[in-house]
Amino acid sequence: MKHLPTLLLAAGAIALPGMAAAQTAWDMPTPYPEGNFHEKNIAQFVEEVNQAAGDAVKITVHNNQSLIKHPDIKNSVRDGIVPIGELLVSRLSNEDPIFGVDSVPFLATSYEEAKKLYDAQKPFMEKALQKQGLKLLFSVPWPPQGLYTKTDVTKMGDLEGKSFRAYNKSTEELAKEAGMIPTQIEASDIPTAFSTGRVEAMMTSPSTGVDSKAWDFLSNYYTLNAWLPRNMVIVNEQAFEGLPKEAQDAVEKAAAEAETRGWQASEEETKRTTDLLKQNGIKVEEPSDDLKQGFKKIGETLTEAWKNEAGDDGAKLLEAYKK
């Protein structure tokens, strides 16, 4: 973040309280391309805020890491460089395991289970974010994660030694447990990483598979439904509190509607993008019993590891989820 343009630094600063009332332009970085269902949902959220808030605040979205790279978005919002941003929740699991529970393999494998897990996780997330001067606005899941490969995979042994695209701590650990070699790759870099041979397999949603045109460099997709990771939209609390009450209400109302709309859109996206994978030549299959059992065992191992790492809060979260 040391090399961000002075103009960008100024853009974030004007959103904070104490500045002139007319200076209410908010830049909003996001990690994913404009056509992605998360970004369409955010575009509607922004439109609703801009209309309802009048002159109090105007948000401009910068998709696909065009303003700030994904790994830097949270800190940029925390530090006031930008007032608002979107990121993958589990990117923060290295700083607090609470943020990683939605990406623990096979803990929640359906939308119903994912919603229950979110309800249990949300108070802990809000508490952890508040410590950094951040406020959670809304959180929306990706479609269930499946396995993409360049060749047929019928047993766990077929994956051993393959380079695997990781994007958070959980996917790194999953790769290691399966005997694969994790390599951190952002969603926008997936096509290049596969085309150049940096990675040979990945676990991600059918939506990301379509966004990256996986049929250009992969052949197989196995519907493991391993977990439903979520994105979240966060805002700098100081910037939010600096808005007039009417504008704060407009932001929170639009956020609540975006969360409800986003969960529904995610379910619709699962079917749409899975069909698109098939139409473009990807072999979409149920995983073999060996793959199911192998990954289920890994899931149990990683769930226990997460629980131990998360301590008392983790135990309370899982207890609330199981109820």
170-222 residue pLDDT tens:
899 999 999 999 999 999 999 999 999 999 999 999 999 999 999 999 999 99
Question: pLDDT-derived band of residue 22, with 50, 70 and 90 as boundaries?
Answer: low
Do 74 and 133 lie in a common domain? Answer: yes
- pLDDT reading at 303 higher than 70: yes
- What was the pLDDT predicted at 16? 45
Q: Is the pLDDT of residue 105 over 60?
A: yes
29 domain residue, yes or no: yes
Residue 254 shares a structural domain with residue 175? no
Sign of the Cα torsion 114, 266, 100, 197 reads positive
Does some domain include residue 1? no
Structure tokens at 88: 């993958």
| CA pair distance 158, 80, nearest whole angstrom | 47
236 and 299 belong to one structural domain: no
C-alpha 5 chain-centroid distance: 26
The token pair at 92 is: 């923060």
- The per-residue pLDDT for range 261-280, each reduced to its tens digit, is 999 999 999 999 999 999 99
% of the chain at pLDDT higher than 70: 93
**Mean pLDDT estimate for the chain:** 93
Number of folded domains in the chain?
2
49 with 113, same domain? yes
Res 103: pLDDT: 94
Do 251 and 126 share a domain, yes or no?
yes
Look at the pTM and tell me if it is higher than 0.95.
no
7 by Cβ neighbours in 10 Å (0-12 / 13-18 / 19+) ranks as exposed
In terms of residue numbers, what domain contains 290? 146-227+282-322
Q: Are residues 302 and 188 in the same domain?
A: yes
- What are the tokens at 226? 């391993």
Q: Is the pLDDT reported for residue 137 higher than 50? A: yes
Nearest-CA neighbor of 100 among 88, 109, 112, 111?
88
Does the structure show a pLDDT above 50 at 20?
Answer: no
pLDDT, position 7:
39
